[in-house]
Structure 1
């Protein structure tokens, strides 16, 4: 099926799309005499993702073809550096299998410059995709436990074994594995029998993505995307993390470490379980995310920040008086607590779940539990 040239599809719909940045992948193309592209799996602002047949190993792989290197800066090299660090660390750790594996990396020459390509074992879909397809749009307790157990193992491996801080944990960066690899052969055969819709624009083909069929049994979750990850064995002050998942020390520009991942998981876990964001950070004056609005929401939920956190913050004077009073020129929301937020939980499960959340949602990083400690939590290990 041919799509009209003036109808925008896939990566063309992205706000900052520039066609010259993307490598013009063609289905059937063979990279480095080894990987034959058999179908498109997805797209994003920095890459397109393709299912390919590894002609040497006789298996399927996912190829992440990045936009041209000049447009990416250091992000891609950073991701490779993280994978190299992982390769040097213990493979025996149970969290190693919960972190995406890099099989190969190479560069291809495009019309406007070089493009880096990463080869990974193919995965099914993201947790975000699974939530969007469910009704209501949230994970049940059993689903959240399934995701978080492997996520904490992954973080324990990254933090303790690899000294890596992920900094960008969200439902879109956690994907489910596939136990039945026949679904990849099925996708390849479907593409042959019924080619996906596509369009031709100025000598390049824009393909539509083809979803991998739901496997009979969903594989374990895998933490992906290390483009924003940093090494934990150096000092950090930079601004990282998705806005609404940003840890207080990052927002206040205080030095931060592995514990920002723990805060991040706490916020994300609440959102996935309740189907509502815990924090929004939308400033009523600007109608957009602002630090002061986010801090106000945290204060309303957890009370004022500890003085020692403010003492090591580079932005404390912008939001707080010397006595620790919030002076950012915005009203605090009505004080509430996790216990007061409407929830679907029964009283027993609510008590355990909120105890679990409080191990992550603490102003002071040192008061947050480690990934290894959270894996042992009573709510998480409850058999339900």
Structure 2
């Protein structure tokens, strides 16, 4: 109840804006590329020229920079009306976004219009507000979210052995599978990009934001000033005393599930076989994707790499060869439905991609974190996800109740 009360934007007197007037900040050389400037296709005019201290929509005062990407920057802000801190995701201008401009917003709108009673609803990052802000080179979409702490990937790297403990992994997976069940059954959304850096822990410690503010007021962020633009270095939030449960984020690649898909999606090493082979795919690719991610988090390495020694990089043929070594040959029903099957398989279903097949290996041969009955339950859960035939994969709802997860909750 306490955490819920902290999230409610109480009515009352609005916060007064802070004055970020300290000019004693480190000034970086103009020729030094930093942050979003390091992207090869960076064009300064595409980004909104944010200034710390400015107020957007007469409501959100920028406090400091949290991060950046190829198509957006992320800022901690004070919601003056709501008397709370929020994260603003400011996209590059509309002209460079094209059809993608509204995509993530429409996915969040679809989510917000779905039943809130589902137990997986609170496993999805919440959208609090959205608006457009006009810059010197065009209009920019801004999404407003609750601030989050760090990703599961960052949390994983805190552990020297680069493996999550079973209790932590089970807790994360239970939340994730409930969230996926909500997306798949209530929202008809396929995420398509399940990975550890798209699952983030929440924050239930307001002092984190106050400390961030105080640091920016007393010790302003380093920055470079080029003409009328400022590029800031990001500032990290301090570790909160109380973390909130993880949520699934980033719906920029998500698609609606009630139509046929054959397009190329997913991170390379997490691609489902039907995606590689250009067969029609649906919700089940999120299940395969999650299975591959679990291996990274718990076994300390990739289940599949797709590394092709001839080309010395990822190739689909190498990825399929690894799948065959682990799972055997794909069913002919899958090959018959795939546009690209003839690139890799003969009419009789034999692999013919001019790359040697690795030696056969089983999941139990590769699993090194568990033993006994616990290992068998874990492998059973993995086996329900890693199936050639998408229809043979377990649903997210079923996986949330798997024996291995329940025994570690």
Contiguous gaps of at least 5 residues in structure 1: none
Residue 203 (structure 2) pairs with residue 165 (structure 1):
no
The Cα of 1:349 is off from its aligned counterpart by 2.4
1:251-305 CA distance string (max 9 Å, x none): 1101111000000000001111112111111222222221111111111111110
Of the three residues 96, 99, 102, the one matched with 1:71 is: 96
Match of 2:6 in 1: none
TM-score by length of 2: 0.91
Runs (4 or more) in structure 1 with deviation over 3 Å come to: none
The Cα of 1:7 is off from its aligned counterpart by 2.1
Residues of 2 paired with 1:21 and 1:282: CA distance?
Answer: 35
The Cα of 1:76 is off from its aligned counterpart by 3.2
- Cα RMSD (Å) of the superposition? 1.3
Match of 1:239 in 2: 264
Residue 125 (structure 2) pairs with residue 100 (structure 1):
yes
The Cα of 1:132 is off from its aligned counterpart by 2.4
Residues of 2 paired with 1:340 and 1:89: CA distance?
Answer: 42
Of the three residues 85, 96, 106, the one matched with 2:110 is: 85
Match of 1:113 in 2: 138
Residues of 2 paired with 1:348 and 1:371: CA distance?
Answer: 23
Q: 1:100 touches 1:223 (CA, 8 Å); kept in 2?
A: yes
TM-score by length of 1: 0.97
Of the three residues 27, 33, 46, the one matched with 2:52 is: 27
Match of 1:375 in 2: 400
The Cα of 1:342 is off from its aligned counterpart by 5.2
Residues 307-322 of structure 1: pairs in structure 2 closer than 5 A: 307-322=332-347
| SS of equivalent to 1:17 | coil
| SS of equivalent to 2:224 | strand
Match of 2:62 in 1: 37
Match of 1:140 in 2: 165
Residues of 2 paired with 1:16 and 1:141: CA distance?
Answer: 41
Residue 307 (structure 2) pairs with residue 282 (structure 1):
yes
The Cα of 1:134 is off from its aligned counterpart by 2.6
Q: Which moved more, 1:369-378 or 1:329-338?
A: 329-338
Residues 216-365 of structure 1: pairs in structure 2 closer than 5 A: 216-341=241-366, 343-365=368-390
The Cα of 1:373 is off from its aligned counterpart by 0.1
Contiguous gaps of at least 5 residues in structure 2: 1-25
Q: 1:75 touches 1:228 (CA, 8 Å); kept in 2?
A: no
1:213-264 CA distance string (max 9 Å, x none): 1111221010011111111111111111111111111111011110000000
| SS of equivalent to 2:176 | helix
Match of 1:48 in 2: 73
1:185-222 CA distance string (max 9 Å, x none): 22112111211211112321111111111111221010
Match of 1:130 in 2: 155
Residues of 2 paired with 1:136 and 1:75: CA distance?
Answer: 39
1:53-92 CA distance string (max 9 Å, x none): 0111111110000112222222231111111111211011
Residues of 1 paired with 2:159 and 2:50: CA distance?
Answer: 32
| SS of equivalent to 1:124 | strand
Residues of 2 paired with 1:332 and 1:70: CA distance?
Answer: 47
Residues of 1 paired with 2:373 and 2:326: CA distance?
Answer: 22
Residues of 2 paired with 1:203 and 1:347: CA distance?
Answer: 64
State the number of aligned residues: 384
